[in-house]
A and B are shown apart, each in its own frame.
Chain A
């Protein structure tokens, strides 16, 4: 799917036919052919833009610069608390910018997409918005982690622990993605002359480096906390299970002893005093006494 946009009044606005910003969302075979044959994009780099496992990088082709960077993938309920990353391709020509995405996302919204004067700035702001996207997803991961902790404290189910493992895995993906973006942004700064970046754009890149570093440190902190607390959470679940088994065992013993007393006197053989009118009440009393005995023993042993 192709959307064409253009720069107008410092903003990126839709322009169906003449826009010089091409946004391809999951391009089909015909669109890929156009990108490779007409716009001369490298086939491998184009494939990288759609491959979530590719690392962020900057490559220079004869007539354009190819940028692959990482952004968080949209979360869906089927992901079961695994937050993944996706790749995005930016192909910066002198007169046009081609953006290749694997899924439909809102690209040009937010206060950062104002007062834009060049295609280079558009490219930088798209990368910057991915840093903001990572930061927002980290907040979501933190909130999910807090909720899972509350559930684990009161539950014995493995599913919450497994969800925490999924979050831990997500943070590893995010750390890799953010780190990879960091290397890309540095490369951007080093190639400022080749990319014809203005002084303002270079200052903006410095801000991006700081933002990305903070984002990386935040992800690393969450990852460390999650990893170090995991053993404690496993112990809590195990302890909850032990408490349940103990309670069930006490109930079993409390039922078993009076049953034993009654069973002994229920054997189909004669026993002394079986015809006596108070024998039934004596047996019942023995069963009751056995219950109180168990209670006393449990209290004495402080179980």
Chain B
């Protein structure tokens, strides 16, 4: 399989920001994929598969996050993550 590198910007729409439950959903989505995904904020860069790092982000509503994925299904995993953020994680 060809390993690809994809980036995407996503805005956090949830009123409470990227809190506990959305963080778990993000980590689970990334772990199900075969790609390495990183989230970049102006302050730090974290591994999106690690819930400990995601919970330490403290992202609030309206923050724009830079996602970068590398792997055979990079495009698909970023599509799935973008859909989750757009749907406000169904909350």
Contact = CB atoms under 8 A, between A and B. Distances in A.
A144 B52 contact: yes
Contacts of A105: 15-16
B20 A83 contact: yes
Contacts of B58: 76-78
Contacts of A163: 52
A18 interface: no
A106 B22 CA distance: 13
A137 B20 CA distance: 7
Contacts of B24: 136, 139-140, 143
B51 A137 contact: no
Contacts, number: 50
Contact of A106 (B28, B56, B57, B91): B91
Interface string B44-76: 000000111001111000000000000000000
B39 interface: no
A257 B16 CA distance: 62
Given A106-B91, A140-B24, A143-B27, A74 B52 contact: no
* Interface bin, chain B: 10 to 19
B51 A143 contact: yes
B19 interface: yes
Contact of A104 (B15, B20, B28): B15
A158 B89 CA distance: 34
A140 B16 contact: no
A229 B21 CA distance: 25
Interface centre among A83, A104, A139 (most CB of B within 10 A): A139
Contacts of B90: 110
Contacts of A140: 20-21, 23-24, 51
Contacts of A117: none
B46 to A, nearest CB: 11
Contacts of B91: 106, 109-110
A13 to B, nearest CB: 17
Nearest to A148: B52
Nearest to B28: A143
10 contacts: A78-B58, A105-B16, A106-B14, A109-B91, A136-B21, A136-B24, A140-B23, A143-B27, A143-B28, A151-B52
Given A137-B20, A147-B50, 5 more contacts: A74-B19, A109-B91, A143-B28, A147-B52, A163-B52
Interface of A: 74-78, 81, 83, 104-106, 109-110, 136-137, 139-140, 143-144, 147-148, 151, 163
Interface of B: 14-16, 19-21, 23-24, 27-28, 50-52, 55-58, 90-91
8 nearest A-B pairs in the assembled complex, by CB-CB distance: A77-B58, A75-B20, A140-B20, A140-B24, A147-B52, A74-B16, A136-B21, A143-B51
